[in-house]
Chain A
Amino acid sequence: MAPQSPPKATLEHSQSASGSATADGFQEEHHYRSGPLRWLLTTNHKEIGSLYLIFSLAMFMIGGAMALVIRLELFQPGLQMIQPEFFNQMTTMHGLIMVFGAVMPGFVGLANWMIPLQIGAPDMALPRLNNFSFWLLPIAFTLLLSTLLMPGGGPNFGWTFYAPLSTTYAPPSTTFFIFALHMAGISSILGAINIIATILNLRAPGMRLMDMTLFVWTWLITAFLLIAVMPVLAGVITMMLLDINFGTSFFNAAGGGDPVLFQHLFWFFGHPEVYIMILPAFGIVSVIIPTFARKRLFGYASMVYATAAIAILSFLVWAHHMFAVGLPLVAELFFMYTTLLIAVPTGVKVFNWITTLFRGEITFETPMLFALAFVVLFTIGGFSGLMLAIAPADFQYHDTYFVVAHFHYVLVPGAVFSIMAAVYYWLPKWTGHYPDERLGRWHFWLSVIGVNLLFFPMHFAGLAGMPRRIPDYALQFADFNMASSIGGFLFGFSQLLFIWVVVKCVRGGVKAPANAWDGATDLEWTVPSPAPLHTFETPPDLRDFKFH
C-alpha cells in the first residue's frame, strides 16, 4: 500500500530497489540513521504515513484471514472446521482488527502522508508525538493477537463486547484485550490531536479553511469526533476492567449495576466511531471524482456543511443499535427520527458526487473505478441503513445477517474501497511510478464481483431469519451462505493482487510527472513525484493558486 523504500529526498536519489542501503543518499543530507532504527525513530510524516499504511495492510490481511476462517466454517451447514468457542473468537477478533487495526490506521496513514502535502505544510505539527502514536499500534495489536494463545482463548464476546458476557462470563485474557484497546485508543487520540494542530496551524499562508480539500476537511471533523468519543471508549473499558478485577458492579445487575448502561456507553462511542470510519472516505471520494471528471466538485460548501451535520447527528442516534433492548416508546421514536434525519446530509453528498460527474469529461482509471464503486455500493449500504432506522421493522432486522450485510456494505465497498482508491490515486506521488493499470483493473473487477457475491446474499439470509454470530445455521440459509463464502474467497484472494500491484509500483513502473493525473488540481500535485522526503520547507506561494 505504501512505498517499501523510503521516499527519496530528490529525484536523483531514486533507485529502483527496495533495499535498506538506499538511505545513504540522505543520511548525509538529513542525518538520518540507517537500518531498522531509522524507521523506529523517524519523525517524518511521509515515513510515518507509510508505516501506518503498511501496518494497516498487514492487519487487513490478518483480519481478512480470520474472515475466511469464518466463511470456511459457514460454507455448509454443520460444524466442519472449527468449534463454536473458536468461531466466536474469530468473529470478535475479525471485527476488532478490521475496525481498530485496518480501517482507522489506514485513514491515519493517508492523513499523515497527504494532509501536510495538501495544506502546504512541511510536516505534521507534532512529529515526535506522531512517531509515538504509530508505534503504540504494533504493540497493542501484538498483545491483542497474543490473547488467542492464552488459556481460555482470546476475546469471544463480539467486537461490541456487551457486558456481562465480556465481564463475568469472559475468558481470563479479557484484561489484556482491555489494555490493547486502551493503547489503540491512546494512539487514536494522539493522532487526532496532531491532525487538528496541523490543520489549524500549519496551512500555507493564504489558505483559508474553506480553501482546503474535502479530504482535509473530513479529517479535521473526524479528528474532533475522535477527541470526543475515544475517552468514552476508554471509560467503558476501564469500567469493565474494574468490574472484572476489582469487584465493582457498573454492569452487573447483582451489585446494582446495569448491563444496558454498558450498551448506552458503548454506542455513544460506537456510532460516532462508524462515522470516524466513513467521513475520511467521503473526503477521498470528493477529491478523486473531480479529478477524473475534470470538473470542480459540485457544492463544495454544502459538502463541508453536510459532513459537519453528519458528525453532530452522530451523537444523537446511538440507541438505534439498541431498539430491541427494551427502550420506552418515546426513546424509540426519538432515535428513529434522528436516525432518519442522517439520510438528509448523506443524500446531499451522493447528489453532489453525481452532479460532479454530470457534464464532466470522465475517464476510468483505477482510482476512479474504486471511487465510483464506492458511490454505488455505499449508497446501497445507506438504503439498508434507512430500512434499519425504521424501529418497528428493526425488530425483525436487528442482529440478523441483514445488519451484517448493511455494515459490511458501508465498511468494505465503503471505507475499504475508498482507501484502495486513495492508494491507487496517490501511489504515483508516493513512489514516482504509476501503478500497473491493467492489474489494477483486474483487482478492481475481481473485488467488486467478490464483494457483492459476498455481502449481497447476506441481506436475504438476514431477512429469512438468520441471526448473526452463529457458527452453524438452519438448512434454508445454506445457499446464501455458500454464495457468500465463494464471494468471500474471491474477494479475499483478489487482495493478493493488490499487494502485488503495490509492490510492483514501489519497485518500478511508468514514471509519473509531478501532476500525475491531468485533472488533478490540489496542492500535492505541485511537488515532484515521488515526493521528496521534505516538502514545503518554505511555504508555497498560493497567490495564483486555484483552490478545488
Chain B
Amino acid sequence: MRKGFALAALLAGLSGQFPISHATGWNMPVGVSQVSRDVYDLHMIIFWICVVIGVVVFGVMFYSLFRYRRSKGAKAAEFHEHTTVEVVWTAIPFLILVAMAIPATATLKNMYDASEADYDVMITGHQWRWQYDYMGEDVTLFSNMSTPKAQIAGTEEKGEHYLLEVDEPLVLPVDRKIRLLTTSADVIHSWWVPDLAVKKDAIPGFVNESWTRIDEPGIYRGQCTELCGKDHGFMPVVVHAMEQEQFDAWLAERKQAAAAEAGGVDREWGLEELVERGEKVYATVCASCHQAEGQGLPPTFPALAGNQALMDDLDRHIDVVVNGVSGSAMASFSGTLSPVDIAAVVTFERNAWGNETGDVVQPADIQALIAP
C-alpha cells in the first residue's frame, strides 16, 4: 500500500537514503497491537478515499483549465445553476462520509473497551520525566531521557536513538491486557507510543484511562505530545515489551532492589557519598530548571548557587524539596524521590558551586518527614 505515496517516494528520493521499517519512515507505523493495526487500516482507507476524490476533483479542474483557456479560443458558456447536480454532489459526499464513519466507530468502541486487565500501570507526567507505578506490585520507575547533553549541543556524535532513549523504560509483558492510567503532577502532558496507537493526555488532578495488548516483544519509542514547558521535546516514552517469564523475573528483581534501597535509609551517611549521589540526582531531576551550575533561570527558576537565603535556612531548603511550593513550578519530591535521594541532593546543593555550608542531611531525617 505504501507504494501509493508517489509524492513521498519522490521526496524520499530527493532527500537521500531513508530507512523504511514499520517504526520509522514516512507513514504511520502499523504497530504491534490489534488496535494499532486497525487504526493503520482506517488511516489507509481514508487516505485512499481522499486520493480518489482528489484525482477526480483535480482531474476535472485541470481538464477545465487546459481545455477552456481563452488562448485556445474558448468562449464562456452561460449556465450558472443546476439543481440536480448540486443535490447529487451534496448527497454523494455524505454517503462517503457515512461509509467512513462505520469502521471508525467500531475501532473507537474497541479502544474504549473496559474489560478486565492483567496489569494496571499508573503513568504520571512530570516536568520532564515519566513515572510508572505498577499498581499492586509496589514497583515504581522514573523514566528520564538518557541522551547526553553533549549530543544535543552537537559536541558529540548523535546516537541511533537520539532523544528517544531513557534510563528506565516501561517494561511490559506481551499478550497481556495492560490498563494504562494517565495523570500528571504539574502541567498537561500526553503519553504517546505510535506502535501501540495509544495517546492519552496526562492531566493534573484527573485520571485518564486507556489500554493496550502488545503482540511482539521489542522496544517501542514515543514522546510527550502536549507542550509541557521548556523540555517538552526531551521527555521520550520507551516501552520494552518482553515475554511473561522475563517480565516476572524483571519484576522480582525490581522488588528486591526497592527493598535494598529502603535499607539504606537507616544507616548514617557521610558527606562525600551523599554529595556523589546527590550530583547524579541533581543532573537528572533538578538541572533542567535550576541549570547545571545551579545558576537557575530567573525569575521562573531561582538560582541555587549563592542563594544565601536558602543556605541560611536548612529546614526551608528541605521543606521546598520535600513538599514543593504551591502555585509555582517547584514540585513536591516526597513521592518521586527516595529519602536517600532527597538527602543526597539537598546535601549536594548545599556543598556545590561555592555553597559551602558543610551541612549533611541524613536520609533517616528525611524518612521521618515522609513516612506515613
Contact = CB atoms under 8 A, between A and B. Distances in A.
B163 A391 contact: no
A313 interface: no
Contact of A392 (B12, B104, B127, B326): B104
B213 to A, nearest CB: 16
Contact of A326 (B90, B109, B201, B228): B201
A253 B206 contact: yes
A395 B42 CA distance: 12
B81 interface: yes
B39 interface: yes
A383 B30 CA distance: 21
Contact of B101 (A299, A336, A355, A468): A336
A398 B199 contact: yes
A501 to B, nearest CB: 24
A298 interface: yes
Contacts of B328: 168
B152 interface: yes
A380 B204 CA distance: 37
Interface string A448-476: 00000000110010011101111111111
A337 B112 CA distance: 17
A379 B54 contact: yes
A401 B39 CA distance: 18
Contacts of A296: 78, 80
Interface stretch (A40-48, A177-185, A359-367, A407-415): A359-367
Nearest to A346: B93
B50 interface: yes
A254 interface: yes
A482 interface: yes
A541 interface: no
B199 A84 contact: no
B195 to A, nearest CB: 9
B29 A465 contact: yes
Interface in A411-431: none
A383 B313 CA distance: 61
A169 B232 contact: no
B209 A164 contact: no
B327 interface: yes
Given A165-B229, A396-B199, A471-B233, A79 B153 contact: yes
Contacts of B108: 329, 332-333, 336, 391-392
Contact of A472 (B42, B74, B107, B163): B163
Contact of A361 (B14, B25, B74, B297): B74
Contacts of B109: 329
A25 interface: no
Contacts of A297: 80
A162 interface: yes
Given A298-B80, A386-B50, A259 B188 contact: yes
B60 interface: yes
Provide the main secondary structure of the chain A interface: helix
A381 to B, nearest CB: 11
Contacts of B194: 396, 465
A413 to B, nearest CB: 14
Contacts, number: 301
A376 B190 CA distance: 34
Contacts of A337: 101
Scoring A152, A298, A363, A396 by chain B CB atoms within 10 A of each residue's CB, the highest score goes to A396
Contacts of A218: none
Interface in A158-186: 158, 162, 164-165, 168-169, 171-172
B64 interface: yes
Nearest to B61: A354
A383 B50 contact: yes
A392 B190 contact: no
A476 B19 contact: yes
Nearest to B58: A376
A472 B11 CA distance: 22
A464 B38 CA distance: 17
A375 interface: yes
Contact of B26 (A156, A158, A333, A463): A463
A169 B189 CA distance: 13
Contacts of A350: 57
B43 A473 contact: no
Interface string B270-306: 0000000000000000000000000001111000000
Interface stretch (B116-124, B219-227, B363-371): B219-227
Interface string A147-161: 000011000111000
B206 to A, nearest CB: 7
B18 interface: yes
Interface string B216-251: 000001111111111111100000000000000000
Interface string B28-62: 11000000001100110011001001100110110
B15 A479 contact: yes
A318 B112 CA distance: 21
Scoring B26, B109, B326 by chain A CB atoms within 10 A of each residue's CB, the highest score goes to B26
A472 to B, nearest CB: 5
A78 interface: yes
Interface of A: 77-80, 84-85, 88, 151-152, 156-158, 162, 164-165, 168-169, 171-172, 253-254, 258-260, 293-302, 324-326, 329, 332-333, 336-337, 340-341, 343-344, 347-348, 350-351, 354-364, 372, 375-376, 379-380, 383, 386-387, 390-393, 395-396, 398-400, 456-457, 460, 463-465, 467-476, 479-480, 482-483
Given A398-B225, A465-B222, 6 more contacts: A254-B205, A351-B57, A363-B70, A390-B42, A464-B24, A469-B233
11 contacts: A84-B232, A164-B188, A164-B204, A165-B187, A253-B205, A298-B81, A299-B80, A399-B190, A463-B27, A465-B24, A472-B234
Interface of B: 7-8, 11-12, 14-16, 18-19, 24-29, 38-39, 42-43, 46-47, 50, 53-54, 57-58, 60-61, 64-65, 68-71, 74-82, 85-86, 89-90, 93-94, 97, 100-101, 104-105, 107-109, 111-112, 127, 151-154, 158, 160-164, 182, 186-188, 190, 192, 194, 197-201, 203-206, 208-209, 221-234, 297-300, 326-329
Complex A-B, nearest 8 residue pairs according to Cβ-Cβ distance, in ascending order: A253-B205, A470-B233, A460-B26, A326-B208, A479-B15, A296-B80, A359-B77, A383-B50
